[in-house]
Amino acid sequence: MSFPWANEYKPQNAVTKWVDERLPLPRLVYNAVGAGYPVPRNLNYFWNFGVLAGVALVIQIVTGIVLAMHYYASVDGAFNSVEHIMRDVNAGWFIRYAHMNGASFFFIVVYIHIFRGLFYGSYKAPREMIWLLGVVIFLLMMATAFMGYVLPWGQMSFWGAQVITGFFSAIPLVGEPLRQLLLGGFAPDQAALNRFFSLHYLLPFVIAGVIILHVWALHIPGSSNPTGVSVKAEQDTVPFHPYYTAKDGFGLGVFLIGFVAITFFAPNLLGHPDNYIQANPLSTPAHIVPEWYFLPFYAILKAFTVNFGIPFTGIVLIEAKLMGVLAMFGSILLLFFLPWLDTSPVRSGHYRPLFRKFFWYGLIPSLVVLTYCGAQPPYTQWVVLSQIAAAYYFAHFLIILPIVSRIERPLPLPNSITEAVTGKPLQTATA
Residues 24, 18: Cα–Cα separation, whole Å: 9
Name the minimum Å distance from CB 298 to other proteins.
15
Catalytic pick from 124, 247, 302, 350? 247
**Nearest to other proteins of 198, 283 (CB atom):** 283
Check if 10 is active-site.
no
Among 11, 54, 221, 267, binds other proteins (CB under 8 A): 267
Amino acid at 394: F
User: Using the rule CB under 8 A, is 332 a contact of other proteins?
Assistant: no
With contacts defined by CB under 8 A, name the span among 114-122, 126-134, 188-196, 265-273 that binds other proteins. Answer: 265-273
For the chain, how big is the Rg over CA atoms in Å?
A: 24
Q: Please, which residues bridge with residue 278 across strands?
A: 154
Q: Which of 224, 225, 280, 270 is nearest to 375 (CA)?
A: 270
Please say if 21 is a catalytic residue: no
Site size with other proteins, rule: CB under 8 A: 65
Work out whether 306 is an interface residue with other proteins (CB under 8 A): yes
The span of 3-11, 137-145, 203-211, 299-307 binding other proteins (CB under 8 A) equals 299-307
Q: Is 99 a catalytic residue?
A: no
For helices 92-119 and 49-70, angle between their N-to-C axes, nearest 10 degrees:
150
Select from 17-25, 200-208, 305-313, 360-368 the region that touches other proteins (CB under 8 A).
305-313
Tell me, residue by residue from 42 to 81, as one string, x for binding to other proteins by CB under 8 A and - for no binding.
xx------------------------------------x-
Rule CB under 8 A: say whether 167 interacts with other proteins: no
Q: How far is the CB of 177 from other proteins (least distance, A)?
A: 27
Rounded distance between C-alpha atoms, residue 226 and residue 219, angstroms: 17
Annotated catalytic residue, options 274, 291, 342, 419: 291
Distance from the Cα of residue 349 to its chain's centroid: 21
CA distance 36 to 14: 20
Rounded Cα distance between 260 and 18, Å, is 42
Using rule CB under 8 A, residue 250 touches other proteins: yes
Plot region of 113 (φ>0 → left; ψ -120 to 50 → alpha; else → beta): alpha
**139 interacts with other proteins by CB under 8 A:** no
Is 2 assigned a catalytic role? Answer: no
Identified binder of other proteins from the candidate list 77, 185, 209, 242, rule CB under 8 A: 242
**Sole window of 20-28, 30-38, 91-99, 201-209 interacting with other proteins (rule: CB under 8 A):** 91-99
| DSSP letter string, 317-344 | EE-HHHHHHHHHHHHHHGGGGHHHH---
Q: Is there a contact between 304 and 327 (Cβ–Cβ < 8 Å)?
A: yes
Among 27, 30, 41, 240, binds other proteins (CB under 8 A): 41
Q: How far apart are CA 241 and CA 38, in angstroms?
A: 9
Which of the ranges 121-129, 171-179, 320-328, 361-369 carries the binding residues for other proteins, by CB under 8 A? Answer: 320-328
Query: In 3D, which of 346, 259, 327, 285 has the Cα closest to residue 60?
Result: 259
Of the candidates 70, 219, 232, 321, the residue annotated as catalytic is: 219
Nearest distance in Å: CB 96, other proteins: 10
CB 393 within 8 A of CB 358: no
Buried b (16+ CB within 10 A) or exposed e, 222-241: bbbbbbbbebbbbbbbbbbb
Active-site residue (options: 248, 274, 342, 419): 248
Ordered alpha helix ranges (H), 151-234:
155-166, 175-183, 190-219
- For residue 3, which of 249, 248, 240 has the smallest C-alpha distance? 240
Report in angstroms how near the CB of residue 309 gets to other proteins at its nearest: 11
Q: Which stretch binds other proteins (CB under 8 A): 14-22, 50-58, 172-180, 274-282?
A: 274-282
Task: Give the x/- contact pattern for other proteins in 359-388, rule: CB under 8 A.
Answer: --------------------xx--xx--xx
Give yes or no: 247 in active site.
Answer: yes
CA 123 to each of CA 131, 207, 324, 337, 352: distance values in angstroms, whole numbers, following the listed order: 5, 19, 27, 10, 15
Instruction: Using CB under 8 A, pick the residue from 327, 346, 369, 370 that binds other proteins.
Output: 327
Report, as residue numbers or ranges, the catalytic residues. Answer: 219, 223, 247-248, 291
Q: Which residues bind other proteins (CB under 8 A)?
A: 41-43, 80, 83, 86-87, 93-94, 97, 238, 242-243, 246-247, 249-250, 252-254, 256-257, 260-261, 263-265, 267-268, 273-274, 276-277, 286, 303-306, 308, 320, 323, 327, 330, 334, 337, 340-341, 343, 379-380, 383-384, 387-388, 390-392, 394-395, 397-399, 402, 421-422
